[in-house]
């Protein structure tokens, strides 16, 4: 799903709608300030998933275990 771009000035009256759609429908919103991306609104579950993925990818021992498992199951 492609993120919707919303200027920060237009966000205020639409914030609750954006939050509800992000959490219920998985929509993503890129918030711009002065025409440049500044922040993103995503549902909490999606954010937690991204955070967990980032943590795994930054852990060398976890990556080694993943690679080992891939080799094992690709036989």
User: Given pLDDT bands bounded at 50, 70 and 90, which one contains residue 55?
Assistant: very high
Query: What letter would DSSP give residue 42?
Result: -
- Residue 6 burial (C-beta neighbours within 10 Å; 0-12, 13-18, 19+): middle
- Residue 23 burial (C-beta neighbours within 10 Å; 0-12, 13-18, 19+): middle
User: Given pLDDT bands bounded at 50, 70 and 90, which one contains residue 1?
Assistant: confident
Instruction: Give the model confidence (pLDDT) of 2-42 as tens digits.
Output: 888 999 888 889 999 999 999 999 999 999 999 999 999 99
- pLDDT for 3: 87
- Given the structure tokens 């440049």, which residue do they identify? 36
């Amino acid at each position: 799903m492609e993120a919707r771009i919303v200027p920060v000035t237009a966000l205020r009256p639409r914030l609750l709608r954006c939050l509800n759609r992000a959490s219920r429908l998985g929509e993503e919103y890129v918030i711009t300030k002065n025409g440049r991306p500044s922040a993103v609104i995503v549902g909490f579950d999606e954010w937690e998933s991204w955070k967990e993925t980032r943590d795994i990818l930054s852990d060398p021992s976890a990556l080694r275990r993943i690679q080992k498992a891939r080799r094992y199951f690709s036989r």
